[in-house]
Amino acid sequence: MSDKVLSQALSDLGVYEQSKVSVERRIKMPEQYDLVEAAMKIIQDRRSIRQYTDEPVSEEHLEMILEAARQAPSGENAQPWRFIIVNDPATRKQLGAIAGGGSGRRFTAEFVTKKMQERFSSLQDEAKKRAAFEKLTSGRVSAFLADAPVNIVVCGKKDVWDLPYDTSAAIENMLLMVTALGLGACWVIAPCIDIRDEERVKALLGMPEGFKAVSIISVGHPTRPHRPRPRIPIKDLVFLEKWGESYYKEQA
């Protein structure tokens, strides 16, 4: 394939914009350069998507998402994860109700203890602030599981010490593959934080006692493009040798 054809193909896929990366520059770089750039774009483009169209997720795409999860790292290669695919609307509705209840209780507690007010103290628009409080305390922020075409319930073996970290790696792999496929997903922990909610999830799905419901990933086609979310400047996140010693030195 000629470099011109490759450039156009990658541009059509959204891997990069030719205006930002010249063909001449890429020729001088190692072969993996395109992969590095594509990987960073996928990482940067990932968003938590909560609104989906009615279009189903194809079996091919679902298998790619699950294979990405299977390839995740785990302590001592324990691979403690198991996944339950939920397509049935009635089951998704029940999972959404459990998630909504869990979120509602959590955020109501934050409101009562004034933590929520502190979090939104910089928001000056009182109407928007009240709307945010209402949405969070009502549980609607997590109830959307019912509307996603697919729910992937992430389960983990209780007797594996690294369970939270191992399953988190598998989940992030899924989220990145979802983004690469042009789909949307959201990592929802609300149905699994309170032991009472988790037991409801386990009973609903027939999970054995030796496994824990870790979280639920909603997957579907986004209803609209999503804008980038703000990130803390990297210079404020990284230290050199000791805490407080900035890794990034100010330019003279």
Residue type for position 237: L
Euclidean distance between CA atoms 60 and 63, whole angstroms: 5
At residue 17, the pLDDT reads 41
**pLDDT score at 18:** 35
Give the residue ranges of the chain where pLDDT is below 50: 1-10, 12-29, 252
Q: Where are the domains of the chain?
A: 3-45, 59-89+142-220
> Whole-angstrom Cα distance, residue 252 to residue 247?
15
Residues 6+ apart with CB under 8 A from 123: 129, 132
Per-residue 3-state assignment (H helix, E strand, C coil) for the chain: CCHHHHHHHHHHHCCCCCCCCCHHHHHCCCCCHHHHHHHHHHHHHCCECCCECCCCCCHHHHHHHHHHHHCCCCHHHCCCEEEEEECCHHHHHHHHHHHHHHHHHHHHHHHHCCHHHHHCCCCCCHHHHHHHHHHHHHCHHHHHHHHCCEEEEEEEECCCCCHHHHHHHHHHHHHHHHHHCCCEEEEECHHHHCHHHHHHHHHHHCCCCCEEEEEEEEEECECCCCCCCCCCCHHHCCECCCCCCECCCCCC
User: What are the pLDDT digits (tens) for 53-70?
Assistant: 999 999 999 999 999 999
The architecture of the domain spanning 59-89+142-220 is: 3-Layer(aba) Sandwich (3.40)
- Where residue 77 falls (left for φ over 0; alpha for ψ -120 to 50; beta otherwise) is left
**Contact (Cβ atoms closer than 8 angstroms) between residue 79 and residue 118:** no
Enter the pTM of the model. 0.79
Taking only the tens place, the pLDDT of each residue in 213-230 is 999 999 999 999 988 889
pLDDT at 250: 75
- Cα angle 38, 40, 46 (rounded to 5 degrees) comes to 100
Distance CA 146, CA 100 (A): 10
| pLDDT score at 149 | 98
The pLDDT assigned to 251 comes to: 54
On the 0-12 / 13-18 / 19+ scale of CB atoms within 10 A, 191 is: buried
- pLDDT reported for residue 140: 66
